[in-house]
Every structure is written in C-alpha cells, then in structure tokens.
Structure 1
Amino acid sequence: MTQSTAAAPNPWRDLTDPRRAVTVDDLEAGLKEPVFENLRIPEELGPVTITIDDHKIKRFAFTQDDYGAWYLRGESPFDGARIGHPALLGNDLVQLFTTRYRASKTVGFHTEEQIWFDSPVKLGERVTLSGQYVEAYERRGQGYVVMEAQATAEDGRSIVRHRGVEILRTVPGLIAGRGSSKTTERSVTGEVADCARRIEKAGSDVAVGDVLTPLTKVFTAEQTAVFSRIGEYVRNTHNDLQIAKKGKLPTLIVQGQQEYGAAAELMARVFGAAWFTKGWLKMKFINTLQVFDPVSFSGVVTAVGTLADGVRVVELEVWARRASDAKLTAVGWASCRLPA
C-alpha cells in the first residue's frame, strides 16, 4: 500500500509510488473509507520514507511559484547547501492519513494547520514521515479529527513538526464561509493603519505595528492539481472539476495547505535563515479560495521581546485575503526567534 523504512531501500519522492499503476488496478485497495465512524483514536499513520530529490523541490517551486536561489541553486546560508522550501513537507504530513484511508474518497475540509520549523531539509536527504490521529470530536454536525505528525531526517534531527485539524468528510460548498477570524485566541482582522510602516525584512529595528509587504499569488488549476497529488492519481476537489461540482463548489478550490505554503514563504522572506530553525506558524482556514482568484498574504508585528540570552522574539498576526471580494480566506499567528 505504502512504503516504509523497512520496505523501500530506494524510497520514492511521494507518499505512494504511482508507477504501481502499471500492474495494480486499484491503487487504494485495502484502505478504509474516510468517514468519521471509521476513525480509531489513537491511530498510527505511516511511517513513510521519501527522498528529497531535484524533482520534488522543483515541483513544489512550480506549485507555489517560488523559485528562490536557496531551493534551486544551492546558495543557502546552511553551508551553501541546496535546501527545500520551508513548507515542502507540509502536505506530505497532512496527507499521511491516506496511508490508512482511501484518498480519492475523501471530500474533507482542512480547518487548521500548525507547523514548528526545526531545521531545513536538504537535497538528497531521506526523510521519514510519521504521525498519529490523537483526537476526534463533533461540532456543528461535522466530524473533526486532529493529527500530530513529524518529519525526521536520516541523521535523527527534526525537520518540522505538524498539528492539523480536518473535517474528514463533508460537502465543502455548504460549509464554506462558516469559519470566523474570531477564535479563543486573539482576533485577526487583517486591518492595519494607513500610517503603519511597511517592511520587507525583520531588521534590528523591527517594531510593534510594522506591516509586512504583501505577497500576492494566483494559484492556477494546474498548480493546484499538481500540489494536490494528481501525479499519484489521487482525485479530489482540488484537481477534479467533477468532484468539486459534487461538493457544491463552482470550480476547483485551492488546498488550505497550499495557502499555508505561501504564508510560510512570506515568513522566510521576512526572517531569513532563522525561519527554518526557529519559526512557528498557525493558520485557520475560514473561507475557500478558488483557483485563478488572486490572493495576498500579509501580517502585522504584535510583539517584540528579548530573552535573557539576547535572542529576540517577534510575534505576528498573519492573514490571506482573496481579491474577488476582499474576504479573508485564512488567519493566523506566527513567531520567530532571531539571533542577538
């Protein structure tokens, strides 16, 4: 069904090996139906070992339209190594549940994503992905499940740690827009003062109230389909128009994790190398984003502190705003520790 550290001496770059389609009729045979009633808490997901090869990095660069030198030319501050984008492994971790459940039968809704960035992943590394369903609950007629997962390098170091919340099966078009930027955490409005200073990077003078220069993206149908595993023959509301229509959606929608990747890109631009080792980003997805609808990512500095060892800690509110109606599609919170 999937690859593990014991079964794959030469791991493929994805959760599953699409080359099996030559000899296997049903690539998801033996997996469970992705419905709330089939959940087991706790339930192990994976492990799967994958290779961070040139194609995986370039493919992610295409889906995110992010062709930075660190990722494609090996000019990173980490000994000059060529590294992967900060959220390169995010969707792999989100999709770990498909090692137990039929991916193409899933019509879910990703509601929350949280990643701790511990170290950059380097070209050529073998990485093991493992996770667990740790909690399940029902709210407003929907069944939610919480996953905790991690990506670990071959040398044992942590690359990223993930915690996500998903509605396992729903009708996306009927619940779209039910989310709110007001949560038990501080509210994120995406509103900033006209006189606020705009910054590209968090320099030594970074201050509360500074606003991040927006990063604008237009996720095309091709980019969204590739991001959402069309290369593994997985069908969903992000890469199959018929499935999107059945989900009461007018067209394909961008995966929340793809938006998260753009927000992580913005944070990497602002904080540089520190983001890959001391960054944290949590986002809630509150409205759908259709393919081809321009969306901008920004944030505002809410706190700047200094620890006893001189390390500075910058905290922010972040958000994504779609162009079609100026509504927020995602809101969140971030922090990064900067060297003294």
Structure 2
Amino acid sequence: MSQSTAPAPWRDLTDPRRAVTVEDLEAGLKEPVFENLEIPEQLGPVTITVDDHKIKRFSFTQDDYGSWYLEGCPAFGGARIGQPALLGNDLVQLFTTRYGASKTVGFHTEEQMWFDNPVRLGERVTLSGTYVDAYERRGQGYVVMEAQAVGEDGRSIVRHRGVEILRTVPGLIAGRGASPTPERRVTGEVPADARQIEAATADTREGDVLLPLRKIFTAEQTAVFSRIGEFVRNTHNDLQIARAAKLPTLIVQGQQQYGAAAELMARVFGLAWFTGGWLKMKFINTLQVFDPVEFSGVVTSVTKEADGRRAIELDVWARRESDGRMTAVGWASCALP
C-alpha cells in the first residue's frame, strides 16, 4: 500500500478551493469601512509558497518574462528568483485577512517598498503587517499599513508601507492630485537634449533620462492580478462594481503599476536593486485597462557613499499615452555595487 502524503500548501492568501464546501468565503470578516478600523491592528501573519505558478502568473500579469525569473540567475548559482515586486500585492492584500475584500471599493494612494533580498523559487515566505495610523483628509478616510515579507531563513525580503482610502468612489476622486508632502515635486518633464540611458553605470550623471518602459495592461492581466481566481470582486475585475464607482470600465490596480516601475528599476540597477533598492510612488490618476502607459524617470542626484559606492536618486513616473497625463509619480534610490 502506498503511503499517503499531505497536500502541498496553497499559494494564495485565500484558498479558492474552499468554495467547494464553504458558501460565503468572506464570512466572519469585517466591513471595510473607516469606522471599523482598530489602530494598531495586526494583519496576518500568513505563509505562502513562492512556487513556479506564482512566478509565471506574475510574469503574465506584468508582461515581465525576464530570464532570472523563468530560467535562472547566475548570481545565485543558476537558481530562479522572483520578480522584485512579486510579493507586493500579497502585502497590500493582508488587510483581507480581517476585512471583506469584495466589499472594498478603495483607492490605493501611496506605495513604498524597500528591497532587501531576492526571494527564491520554492521558498516559504511569512507575511505580516499592522495598521499603524488612520486619519481623515478632504472628506476621505485614510489608513496606513506597514508590513514585511520574511524568508524561511529569517532574512527580510521586502518591507512595505502603503496608504489606502478604505472606501470611496474612485471615479469622483481620481485626478485631484496627491496630498501635500515634503517630497520633491515630480513633473515628468525632461530636456529635449537629455541623455537617455537603459542602465546605470559608473558614468551615470544628473539629468540622465531612463529609456521608457511601455506597458498595456489588458483586462485579463488586471483581473488575474486583482484576485479574480480567488473570487474577489472589485473595480479591477468586475464591470458592475467599476460602473458603481463612477468608472467607465475596469482600472489597473496601483500596485500593478508599481510592479512595472520596479521592473524598470531592476533593468536600470540589476541585482543591486534586489538588495538595496527603494521606491515610493503616489497614484494620482486612474489607468484604464488597454490604455498604453510609459514608465520612465530622471536622475536627480549622484553621490559617493562612505564605502565608495555611487548612490543614485531619481524621480519616476507613469504617463498615459492617451492624454499625456501622469497616473503615478514617485522617487527611487539605489547604490551601484
């Protein structure tokens, strides 16, 4: 008689296989409204496995089929690693361990991640977070989450800090502009004669402009990224909900745009991005599915650190091709090895 083995752990925050025996997959979860927040409030922990499917699914949703992710990374003995922002949405979605995801019509206003180490294929990762602050501004209720993904050996993979309007009408608030912050204003404007670069090198200088990364996020990519496979309904995968939110069609999740910006940074900095990159973005306009968008940036500072490395800072942005308006603005930094 063959010996039975336990099934492998599922790879997502919510196991869609529960639908076979559970009528309401969100039973017992809180209504996602500002009044139900507890500060501080623990979210998770949960453990996921970074398997082949998870990496390939992210490749599909981001249209990012880099060889390090699908074939192997020479710097790690040929082992495959995950894309830099692979775990970003898992961290954002930690709130759905306590709140009903399909009852949320929110707006992700700000995302910030610190990249400490690459995640490896087959690795079990623990995700945990906390709602650390909540406030009201311009008639909207905001909540701040801090979270982290930790590898099975205890090393930090990525750290996250995000700001979200928990429930709103996205079609009415999009385009109002980011809230005042002390950061440098990002205009997305560059001189016509600026030098265009694809990767940061020893001669990178202030004023260099990044070769744009062009994306078209399809409805299928956006729906998969936004958890349609786990039966979660939202403005990214359900037209009825999008229309109720005063949107003409599905919109691309801010975190999905963030993943493309992180892809651009990995192209610019290589492996250094996975072990010391920082990227903060604010989402200021909606991006509809199938609307072409370009991600780019400009070098704003090049300094020499105490250990001799060259630290590079940039302004970054995402710009819709349809009307030239920016959908996201941000700031990034990384030191060359």
1:51-62 to structure 2, matched below 5 A, reads 51-62=49-60
In the alignment, does 2:294 pair up with 1:299?
no
Partners of 1:276 and 1:11 lie apart in 2 by: 26
- TM-score normalized by structure 2? 0.97
Counterpart residue type for residue 132 of structure 2: V
**Cα displacement (A) at 1:78:** 2.4
Q: Which of 81, 90, 93 is 1:92 aligned to?
A: 90
Partners of 1:219 and 1:338 lie apart in 2 by: 31
Counterpart residue type for residue 307 of structure 1: E
1:76/1:83 contact within 8 Å kept: no
Q: Which of 16, 24, 27 is 1:26 aligned to?
A: 24
Counterpart residue type for residue 98 of structure 1: T
Aligned to 1:285: 283
- Secondary structure of 2:105's match? coil
Partners of 1:36 and 1:181 lie apart in 2 by: 19
**Cα displacement (A) at 1:182:** 6.4
1:167-205 per-position Cα deviation (integer Å, ceiling 9, x unaligned): 000000010101248642110000000110000000110
Counterpart residue type for residue 127 of structure 2: L
Q: Which of 98, 114, 117 is 2:115 aligned to?
A: 117
1:120/1:159 contact within 8 Å kept: yes
Q: Which of 194, 197, 206 is 2:195 aligned to?
A: 197
1:325-340 to structure 2, matched below 5 A, reads 325-339=323-337
- Secondary structure of 2:273's match? helix
Aligned to 1:262: 260
1:100-159 per-position Cα deviation (integer Å, ceiling 9, x unaligned): 000000000000000000000000000000000000000000000000000000000000
Counterpart residue type for residue 142 of structure 2: Y
Aligned to 2:251: 253
In the alignment, does 2:224 pair up with 1:222?
no
1:151/1:161 contact within 8 Å kept: yes
Counterpart residue type for residue 68 of structure 1: G
In the alignment, does 2:319 pair up with 1:318?
no
Q: Which of 259, 272, 275 is 1:274 aligned to?
A: 272
- Secondary structure of 2:308's match? coil
| Shift in CA distance, 181/168, structure 1 to aligned 2, threshold 3 Å | closer
Counterpart residue type for residue 265 of structure 2: M
Q: Which of 30, 38, 41 is 2:39 aligned to?
A: 41
Say which is worse superposed, 47-56 or 183-192, in terms of deviation. Answer: 183-192
1:181/1:188 contact within 8 Å kept: no
Aligned to 2:80: 82
Counterpart residue type for residue 314 of structure 2: L
Aligned to 1:127: 125
1:46-85 per-position Cα deviation (integer Å, ceiling 9, x unaligned): 0000000000000000000000000001134223210000
- Secondary structure of 1:298's match? strand
| Shift in CA distance, 244/150, structure 1 to aligned 2, threshold 3 Å | same
- Secondary structure of 2:96's match? helix
Aligned to 1:4: none
Partners of 2:245 and 2:306 lie apart in 1 by: 52
Partners of 2:85 and 2:148 lie apart in 1 by: 12
Aligned to 1:155: 153
Structure 1 residue runs of 4+, over 6 Å off? none
Aligned residue pairs total 332
- Secondary structure of 1:257's match? helix
- TM-score normalized by structure 1? 0.96
- Secondary structure of 2:75's match? coil
Q: CA RMSD in A?
A: 1.2
Counterpart residue type for residue 213 of structure 1: L
Partners of 2:163 and 2:59 lie apart in 1 by: 25
1:181/1:286 contact within 8 Å kept: no
1:288-317 per-position Cα deviation (integer Å, ceiling 9, x unaligned): 000000000000000011111112110000
**Cα displacement (A) at 1:86:** 0.2
